[in-house]
Structures are given as C-alpha cells and as structure tokens.
Structure 1
C-alpha cells in the first residue's frame, strides 16, 4: 500500500511517500519519494528540495510562498519529471495528514470527514498557522487523490492522557470545563523518540524514565514515564514553554497585561510579536535560525551570545522541571533541527547535569553519525541523539487505523 504523508508546519511543508507492507518494520524505513518546502529563508519565496528513491534530486526556489501553489507544484513532481515515482495518482491508497491541534475532540487518528474539517477549522484559533496549513494540505490532497482515504493524525494525541494536574491551569475550574487546558504538541516526535530510545538502549519502554527534547524552530520537552507522556512544556497553544526560534515561550502574563493597558499594544500586536518576533529572533535581532546564531556568536556578536545563553538557560530550567516530575531519569533524548545538529546546544544543556552522574563524550557529541548514544561510557544517565521520524509515525498510524477498521 502506498501512503502519502503531509506534514504541514508553520513555515515548512514535508511530503513523503511510503510503501507500507505487513509486517511493519521495527525501524522507520526511508520514504520512496520526498519533498521539503521551506518558507523561512526569504519572504515571498519557497526553497524546495525533492528526492526520489533512485537518487534523483531537484532543488528549486519558487517565486511564491502560497502553500496551495507550492503543493500543486510538489504533487506534479510526484508523477512527472526526473523525480517522478508513480505513474498514476490512483496508486496512492491513503493520504495521512499531521494535524497539530485536535483539541479535546480527537485522541486517536481519524478518517477525515466534513465534520472533522470543521473541527480543525474551529481549532485554528488555538494553532492558527498550523491548523490552517493542515486544511490547505487536506484540500490539495482531496483534489489530487479523490480515490484515496484521507486520515488525520493529531500532534496533541500523545499528551491527551497526561495526569489532570498536568492538564489543568490554576485559574477558575470553569476554564478547564470549557476546554481551556494544557494540550501539548510535538506528540508524534516525542512518541517516536521514546520508542526509538528504548530500541537504542535495548530496554523495555515501559521501564524507562525519559526526557525528550524536541528542539527546532518550535521547541518542547516531554517527561515520559513507561512510554506515556506525564508532562510537557507546550500547553493551550504551541507558544508556552521553551524559548524558540521566533516564539517567546512562557512569559509572565502580567507583562502582557501591562503592554495592553499601558503601552498601546493590541491583541494582534502581541500575537505578531510573541509568535514571529520573539525567541532567538527577538533577542538577537538577526534570525530565528540557531545556525546563524551560532555563527554570529562565534564571531563575537554580543546579542547572538545573549540569545544562545538565554535559550540554554530556559532549556536547562525546563529539563529540571521534567526531572522533578519524573523523579529520576534514565535517558535524555535530543531531536529536531537543533537537537540533532547543534552539538553546542547539547553540550551546554548537559553541562550543569553532572550532579546526576551524567557526562557526555565530546567526540561523540561532535559527530553522532545518526541515531546514537553520546554519553560517556561511565555516565549514569544515557544521552541520545535521535533523528525524529514524524512522517513514518503518521504512515504507521494510518496503517493501524485501516487495519482496525477492516477487522470490525
């Protein structure tokens, strides 16, 4: 069965094609075709990379940042040109979509229906850039593959069974009753990394205490006990928690009230600033891209150094919170664009954790070479680098849903 996966992010679009057969492999297989679109480099333009299983690669800069137009271009390349990997669109049996916010409504993958699309649209208010992107991807897929079953896989689902004290905000109880609660995000990534960590350690997942660090343009941590999320840093929206590329992370709500009441800010101003002009971008004044921050820091840029130090400080702070909730730790797991590719961040995050008996191997940290344990042999806590496989998790979830439906 060919399963096409749409992973729509706020500033990116990953599209992957998998050939899925029983029995499912223990490790994530490579896709037979993939396309990655990135809107973060230059306003109004899209950096696009398309690869086929045969090794053909196309790189383009498209003169548009409109997702529907980019998706149309991507889907044409699936069956045409040097990267074409299918002869007819009818070969696609299933299309799986990552949907960031499922609210309290969806805790499992679900077939996409008009009612489900209405719910995703209604939840745009909680994750505006992400859920809107998912709806645009769903529309493109329904037009291109009318014969395929469309399935939504929710990023909030993995955290939906957190203990109530982790879900509830300490405001009026009516907030919780109205659905104003902590949902958590990056669930597909945290779930995959926990499973992969157990494989790398040769341990049963149910016996492990893990802190998974998804560090990219968006950043979040999860405390995972026995394979279940019991706490995470993102909350009602993907803005809570860690400092991120352009998002602020947690801020004293009193500061926001001050800006609204006394500094002439509107709600739209705060939305723009907190989501797109804060984090690494806001402090450095340069970029939300950690690679650029690290280069500027090495060149002596004071604000880049401050942005890096603030990012690390808040990362250490939240790792400590996860540690306290777990009551101990077996492994610290790094993933995401920063987590996988920035050894400086991993080293700085671990620097103050020596009291746990945690020590990393500098040479392994500098070049993990894929999924790897970068802790020193004598370290009491293992430190892992894992290449997250959200797209395979979506394909796998689609497979299991269809199998369950066939058995009922």
Structure 2
C-alpha cells in the first residue's frame, strides 16, 4: 500500500563547485547526490586509500603486523630527502614499525613512508601496483588506473617509476570509484578511522599534522574548519589533480562518504565537502519504514499443499530501513518476492514447513521521482529482508493424503463426465 502523494517533488538539493562530486550513505551504499561522478581524474594522494586498504589486509591475513619493522631503501629515501615533497624525513639504517609508517602515510600523507610500505608488502612498488589494480577489480571499482602507491605523477619519480608502468603515467579514479574504495575501506577496516581521525602525532621525534582541516579539534586557525563527526579520510593535491578530498563523518549512527575532485583551492575542497555533508545530515535520515513482522494486507497468507493446514502466514523477518529524504517517507511501499523454487506448479508451498522458514524476500520499493542508485551494484537502490513463515505446517498423514487423492480422482472423473455431457448439447 502506498501512503501519501507520490507525485510530490522536493526541491532541496545542493550546488557543489567541483568538477566531480558524490555523496553516499556509508551503510547502505545509497547514492544521495552525484555530479559528473564518472569522470576519470587524477586522485593525487587519495590514491593512498588503496595502499591503506592493502596494508590493513596484509595485517588481517597475518603477513605483517603493526609491530613489523623495516628499513628504508634508496628509492623512498630519495623521495623523503627531496624538499619538494615535504615529507617527514626518513633515516636509512633505522628500523621503522609498520604503525609508524602507516600513521605518517594516513595522517601526514607522506609519500616516502607509503613507498616503504609498498616495498615491504610486495617486494617492489611495481609488484605492489599490480596488487592495487587487482584489488580495484575485486572491489568492483568502475574506473581506475593505478601506476604507483602514492598518487604522485610518475614523472615526479624520475628513474624510479614502477616497473610495468609508463614514465609519465598518472593514477586515475572517478569520484564514484574513490567513494567505492572509501566505502570498502571504512566498512572492511573501520580501524582505519582510528588513525585518520588523529589531528597531530609524534613521528621520529617530530610533530606531524593531519592535512584534513575538517577534523574536530584541529590546532590554531584550522579549528575554524572543524566539522562535527568528521574522522577521515584522505586529502589530495597535485598540479594536475588540483585539490580533492574524500571525507567521511558520522553523527548519531549515520555515516556519509563524500568525494570532491578538482576544486579551486585548498580551502574550497573543505567548503564544498561541508556542503555535501550538510546536505546529507540535514536532508536524509535513516528511518525504519516497515517493522519486523510487517504483513501486506490481503497478501499475508500463502496456500500449502499436503499440509495439515491449508495456508500459512508470511511476514518480514527484519525491519526495512533506508536513508529517507525529508518529505519522501510516504513514497515507499513493500512487495513480496516469493522464490519459485519454494512453490509447486500450482503456486503452493509444500508441507512440511518450518516456522521462520525463508521463502523469499520483502523488497522496499521507492515510488518517487529521484533515481537513487547503489554505489556497489551500480543499479537502482534495492533494500530487502527475508520473507519468512510465521508458523510451522506439518505434513498431513498418509491416510488423509490418500483420502484427498481419492477425492481428487473422483472429482476429476465427475468433471470430465460433466464436460462430456455438456458436449452432447
């Protein structure tokens, strides 16, 4: 049943001054806003989100630990020693833990520590780049090209550009792909946010600062940019990429992921991110539209064959929830999708049936004019829970089945006879 007037439209939207942008609900993957989200652009240091993912995966799989130590080879040392890259300043012949290197990468966006981690995991940055592209395919990123672990242009790396890539190549991502990468990072490894939310920390005797000005409690004038609930994720800048930012914030259990690419300035990437996140938190709310146990009026019973009861009731096993835009709550209904494998040729369930047995899904249907798509599937947003039986139905005993069969037999003979008699006249 549809409640309210599905013809109503709501003008509340957001204007974002970025070449490409997207806003996504981090739990459901529901896309709430997008602007040229499929343009492939250089992501600069937002590339490091993939490096972070692969480091955390290696830790999860036991290949390395936070306490694993490594030393700095000539290649990352040369990057660290180059003042144009303004890194943390690494020392050779010194042991660094994975955690130290990861924090420098995720907090301060350091390039040399990123390369050191890539070499630790894969042996070389070239081999690591292959891992990056393979993981991008596994995660379903629609638009990507990884040519190094840092987001720098390969031309900045001189003779050290990764084997298997071109000397002038650049990493490429669309805003949609950057958002999907962030979606997997925060959902698969939420511990990443424990580090990306750090404003300042110590590294090898010096203080390093986060480039994400929107973190609450940033020091000095940067505190003016603070945003409630912000805890990540990654800034980026190169001459070619311009200023970009993948942000994420959580309030009252609701998390959004935003991406802006090619904004006009360092300040603008945060100002435009604020617009997107404000739009999310002010216009959308995670709502329970239909409770667990909900039944569609007039469709709550399904016929049962060979059972002691002739029907069984069905209901939603869980709540149906989704981020709902202000004023659109009445634009949703539900429908049953009963699995064909559970039905006989006459459309009946067959006894015996267990209580709580899944026989299909209850799907949430949006009847408004907005076209909400899902970040992961690329298709229209689909929210569904199990459709289950409310009680058990035992199989009828052999005598009753036989009586029913005999009855059906004579009923069929009688029907055939009547049809034949009718044919005489």
Q: Aligning the two structures, in what range does the TM-score lie when normalised by the shorter sequence?
A: under 0.3
Structure with the higher fraction of residues in strand conformation: 2
Structure with the higher fraction of residues in helix conformation: 1
TM-score by length of 2: 0.24
TM-score by length of 1: 0.25
Greater RCO (CA < 8 Å, at least 6 residues apart): 2
